[in-house]
Each structure stands twice: as C-alpha cells, then as structure tokens.
Amino acid sequence: MTPGFLGGMALLATLVFSLVGLVLCGLAQWAQDRRYLEAARRVAPMSFLAALVSFGALEWALLTHDFSVRYVALHHSTKDPLWVTLVTPWAALEGSILLWGTLQTMYTWLVSRRVDAGGASAAPVLDPWRAPVALGVLFAIQVFFFAVMVFVAHPFDALPNPPADGRGPNPLLQNHWMMAVHPVLMYLGFVGLSVPFAYALSAMVARRFQSWIFETRWWTLVAWGFLTAAIFAGAWWSYEILGWGGYWAWDPVENASFIPWLLATAFLHTTQVQERRGMFKPWNFAYITLAFAATVFGTFLTRSGVIQSVHAFADGPVGALFLVFLLGVLGVGLGLLSRVSSEVRDAGEVRWKSREGALLAASLLFGTMAFVVVIGTLWPLVVEALSAAKVSIGAPFFNQVSAPVGVAALLLMGIGPVLPWRNTGPQIRRNLFILGSALLAGTVLGLLLRLAPGASLSLGLLAYNLCAVGLMVDQGVKERSSSLGISRWKAFLELASSSRRRFGSHIVHVGFALAAVAIAFSQTYRFEEAKTLRLGQRWQSAGVELTLRKVGLEEQGNRQSVYALVEMRAVDRRGLWADGTYITRLNFYPQMGNQGLAAPDLKYTPYNDYYLILQAFDTERGEWATLKLVVTPLVLWLWIAGAIMALGTLYILWPSPQPQRERAAGGAPA
C-alpha cells in the first residue's frame, strides 16, 4: 500500500462518513427519532479517525519522499529539514484544506460528545431538539471541505512520472519555525467558530433562542483565544522574517484574519448582554453568522487569486467554490434569522449608561471596524469594476481610520466594566473622577516627557484601564471581605479563583491596553535608515555606532547564506542596550534563483528593538555591504501583550475547582 492510496481512500471514507452523518442528522430531525441521532453521534469519531489517517498519510508520503504524489513533488524536497517536512502539509493549497478539514472533524467529534444520548454522557449540554441540526451543520461543513478535496483539490493526486527530487516548499515558509505554529493556531480559531455557528443555527431551527449562548461560551472563547494567539504569532513571524522590521502591513490576507477576530470580539461582548439580560438575541445570531462567514471569506480571498497578497496560494476553481460556500453560510444563517425574526424580538429597556450599554457600544465599534476592513480590502475591486481605474488601499489608510476606533474602544473598555448592570448608581461619579484623573495624568506625563500626542494618549489610556481594573478588584474584595468576614488578601484570592470570567477579562483588557501602547509607540517612533559600509567602516545613527566586520558565505543544507557581521554599540541614551554583535543574512534558495531572502538579526530590549537587515553586498570581493537599520521602541511589549491576552483567555477557560459555586453565581457550565 502506498501513502497516496491510503490517503485517497481515507479522504473518500471521511467524505462518506460526513455524508452519512449529515443524512442521519437529517433523518433525526425529520422523523424526530433519537435512534438516528445516536447513530449520527457515533459516525463523528469515525470521520475524525478517517481524516486523521488521511492527514497521517500525507505526512507519511512527505517523510518517505514519495514523489509520485503530486503535492509532495511540488512542495517537498529530500533536502528539507525534518521540521519543515512535518509542517509541509499546510505549506500549500491542498494540504492546508486537509488540515482545515481534519480540524473540523475534530471539533465535530468534540461536539458529538456533548449530545444527550439518554443519560450516557456525564454532562450533556446539547439537547435532542437541537442536536440533529447542530451536528448536521458541522457534518455539512465537513462534506464541503472533503468534497472539495476529493473532486477538485486532491492532496494525493498522483504524478505519472515522479521526479527524483521535488522543489521544496516556498522558501518564505521554511525560513522560520513559526510556520509550525501560526497556521495551526489560525485554523484552530477559524474552525472553532463553526461550533457556535452550528449551535446558533440549531437554536433558530428548534426555536430555542436562549440557552445556546451559555452552551457555546466555552467554544467561542476557545476560538477567540486561538484567533488572538494566531494573529499575534503571525505578527511576530512577519516581524522576525519578512525583513522590513514591521509586524502588520494591512495586507489583504492579514485583513482577512482580522475580520473574523473583530466580529468574534463583537459577538463575545454582545453575548454577555444576552446571558445577563436575555436581550440582543437577533444580533448574536447575526454576529456569529458573519464571524463564521468571515473565516470562509478569508479562505476565499487567499485561494481565489482575486486579490494580490503575500499569502495568496493559487488561483483556480477552489476560490469559486469557497465563494459559493460563503454565500451558502450567509444565506442559511441570515435566512433563518429573517424567518424567526418575529419570534426573537426581545423586550426590555437598555440605558446607555450601564454595563449593557457599554457592551453594546463596544460591539458597535468592533462591528464598524470589521465593516471598514471589509470595505477597504474589497474597494479596489469595486473601483476597478466601476471605473476601470486601479487604486490601492493600504497601511496609511487603515492606520488613520483604526486609530480613533481604537481610542474609543480603549475608553469604553475602562468605563464599561465599572458600570453596574441596568442603571448607574451614585458611586459612578467618584469612579468616573478617578478614571478621568488617571487618563489625564498619564497623558500629561507623556506630554511632559515630550512624547507625541498619540503616544501620550496611549499612556494615559493604559493608566486609565489599569485604574479601572484596580477599582473593580478593590470593590469586589471589599464586598467579599466584609460580607464573609475574611481578610482582604483572602477575599482577593477567593475572588480571583471564583470569578474567573471577570478576572480573565480584566487580564485580557490590560493586555489590549498594553498592546495599544506598544502599537502607538512603535508606529510613531520607528526609525529606519540604510547605508553602505566598507569593511571596518563606522556608522553613527539613532544613538548607535555600527562597524562592519565581515561579509561571508555559508552553506546551510538546502540553502546558501550570505552574512554580514556587524558590531553595534550605544553612543547615547537612544541606543540603550544596543551593544552586541549582529549577524544579518541573505539566504539563497535554489527555487528562488538569485533573489535573496532576508533573515534579519534583531535584538529585543525592553526599550528599543535593534533590527539589522542585509540588503546588498559586494558579490565580487565581499568588501562592502548595504545595511538597513531599523530601531523601533517597545515592540517587545506587543508580544508580551499578546501573551497576556492569551493567558487571560486561558485563565477563564481553565477548569474551575468549584463548579457548583460557579454555576450558582451564573458562571460557566463549560
């Protein structure tokens, strides 16, 4: 048996299992018979296993250099290091769809374990009214992905005349180990959104509009956490490797990953209103449909070739299929919503000056930003269609429009959680005064330090948000210690372990405010300059002095690496902690011909990052090298902020030691 044969059969088996699952779910729904549901529940692990076998077969083909498989011949070479071989399944179109599909079967299997099978499972949270639809939707998504693979983008297509060696994956993808992390996190987040989407559809079909929000809380947070981690990981990757010293370029595909995050964030905030006040049901249905559709939209953008991007894989029929799928998702989600819209009308009054008012306003901001990113990404196509003119919409535009939205979000983030539900109380004046003072103090301090207005404001907003968290924790601790008669410290520990959602969201919010500071400073004070140095020549710039010591060449496995050895030392305060020896490289891969791929050297410090790129070199005698120096402040804090946000999410999701108490307090039945 060959890996290609095994993989092809496993793919087909997954498609069949998915179809069987879908049909069984349909029968369960139509005949209202639990036996079909039970059977469908049992099909889910089988499709997961079959998909795993298929994925394993692709790894097997890669590890054994089976070039009779077209995918292996095109994207693998015998010289690839082991880790590159292991991550090659998601280095190109067919394999990345396989990864997506496999993760989808995993989520379907996890959901199937939640189905109430008549008291068999310990904590059933998917009742038999909605289970057929929820599982059916997930099976239907699986059917789409595996049908695309079986009929259009087959990862195990055979090559009649296999070559002796392949071309290897795109060099850009093998230049950094983040390739092993970022795409998987992204897909875990994208696919994770399918679960709340499926629950939402089932809720609309079964006309049970409330409980799905509680039941998918865990799933939504998991997906959101993965999306957040993936976006930061991707930003860090591009900072380390793309060789321009930036972390976010508003590239169409970066945008495509940002849109689901924005909509999922909006959804996460409005679900709180539904949980607490039973309101906003139609908006939640709409938001989750749009968030899931946005993940498909991103795939459509990358796979269709309609938009130029550094991430684009290929054009072909796959893009068109994803467009159809996208329209299907939107049609079903919004169609169902319009069908039940007369029933989901909520009753109640919302005051703007209340927790729910702030949550709604936050969701408005995130929704607006998602709208702007969609329009900005697609508008060049619209302009071209309407006037045949070509325009570009890039970073300068997005930076300008996102700044005010970000400031508004940061302002809301501080005041929102301090406000009580339903109505403001008398203590709000005092809180507002404290928060306003913190904001003012931080901003004025920044201005006194002669910082730019934007950077100063970001400092003020960080102080304001830290202060808000302090106020909330202080209030909670006071209440608890006086009502239970325990010490403040003990009350704090109890609060932190029992209200994980509150504490976790505080942590995430602090991370967000810190990220805003890092972004404001790194965007405002980024410095870059390029200069050609001869061996031994010194160059003073941005508070550092560079000396070019050596230009050399190394053979590294499947690539040739030209490097420049540079000594750097600080000459004034601006060059704090810059001292060191830097080796910056240009890597030459056989697939890329004479186009070198930069592997910059950089030093992270708590203050400035020193980033050195080799841009050109003397090919004849190695006597000079052109170096680009990029000095950017506080970028390190962006990665710390990302880690804080991910840890905050993890803190919420971490299984609670006191499930009873949590549930009684309206906590997470996750």
Which residues are registered as beta bridge partners of 608?
Answer: 633
Shortest Å distance, C-beta 114 to another protein: 15
Element (H, E) at 148: helix 131-151
Residue 23 or 401: which CB sits closer to another protein? 401
Alpha carbon 463 to its chain's center: 27
Q: How far is the CB of 402 from another protein (least distance, A)?
A: 9
At a CB cut-off of 8 Å and minimum separation 6, what does 537 contact? 547, 548
Q: Quick one: 61 or 372, whose CB is closer to another protein?
A: 372
Which of residues 389 and 448 has its CB atom nearest to another protein in the complex? 389
- Shortest gap between Cβ of 196 and another protein (angstroms)? 20
Residue among 574 and 661 whose Cβ is closer to another protein: 574
| Minimal distance, residue 452 CB to another protein, in Å | 15
Q: How far is the C-alpha of 308 from the C-alpha of 297, rounded, in Å?
A: 15
Query: In the complex, what is the shortest distance from the CB of residue 21 to another protein, in angstroms, rounded to a whole number?
Result: 19
3-state SS of 323-375?
Answer: HHHHHHHHHHHHHHHHHHCCCCCCCCCCCCCCHHHHHHHHHHHHHHHHHHHHH
- Which residues partner with 539 through β-bridges? 546
668 three-state secondary structure: coil
Nearer to another protein, 405 or 441 (CB): 405
Beta carbon nearer to another protein, 27 or 468: 27
Structure tokens at 132: 């057929």
**Helical H runs in 395-525?**
395-418, 428-448, 453-484, 488-498, 500-524
d(CA 361, CA 409): 9
> Minimum CB separation from another protein for residue 229, in Å?
23
Task: Assess contact for 176 and 237: CB atoms under 8 A.
Answer: yes
Q: For another protein, which is the closer residue by CB, 384 or 474?
A: 384
If the CB atoms of residues 3 and 246 are measured against another protein, the closer one turns out to be 246
Nearer to another protein, 192 or 333 (CB): 333
d(CA 63, CA 80): 10
Position 653, amino acid = L
Q: Tell me the closest approach of the beta carbon of residue 445 to another protein, in angstroms.
A: 27
Beta bridge partner(s), residue 629: 529, 612
- Smallest gap, in angstroms, from Cβ of residue 620 to another protein? 5
d(CA 19, CA 15): 6
Of the two residues 59 and 346, which places its CB atom closer to another protein in the complex? 346
Closer to another protein by Cβ: residue 35 or 42: 35
The least distance separating another protein from the CB of residue 37, rounded to whole angstroms, comes to 9
Considering the complex, state which of residue 82 and residue 347 has its C-beta at the smaller distance from another protein.
347
Contact between 629 and 601 (Cβ < 8 Å): no
What burial class does residue 39 get, using C-beta atoms within 10 Å of its C-beta: 0-12 exposed, 13-18 middle, 19+ buried? middle
Tokens 């495509």 correspond to 256
Q: Which is nearer to another protein, 218 or 379 (CB)?
A: 379
598's enclosing H/E stretch is strand 597-599
Q: At 40, which amino acid appears?
A: A
Q: Would you put residue 388 in left (φ > 0), alpha (ψ -120 to 50) or beta? A: left
Taking the complex as a whole, the smallest distance from the CB of residue 255 to another protein amounts, in Å, to 10
Please say whether the beta carbons of 284 and 267 come within 8 A: yes
Q: Closer CB to another protein, residue 348 or residue 606?
A: 348
> Least Å distance between CB 443 and another protein?
23
Dig out the tokens for 603 from the structure: 């030093």
Shortest spacing between CB 345 and another protein, in angstroms:
6
Q: Which of 290, 179, 195 is nearest to 241 (CA)?
A: 179
Is 135 exposed, middle or buried (CB count within 10 Å of its CB: 0-12, 13-18, 19+)? Answer: buried
Name the minimum Å distance from CB 145 to another protein. Answer: 26
Q: One-letter amino acid identity for 396?
A: P
Q: Which residues contact 42 (CB under 8 A, 6 or more apart)?
A: none
Residue among 40 and 463 whose Cβ is closer to another protein: 40
Q: Distance between CA atoms of 192 and 227, rounded to whole angstroms?
A: 9
Question: Shortest approach of another protein to residue 397 CB, angstroms?
Answer: 5
Shortest reach from residue 584's CB to another protein, in Å: 13
Phi first, then psi, for residue 14 (nearest 5°) are -60, -40
DSSP 521-570: HHHHS-EEEEEEEETT-EEEETTEEEEEEEEEEEEETTEEEEEEEEEEEE
- Cα separation, 263 vs 172, whole angstroms: 30
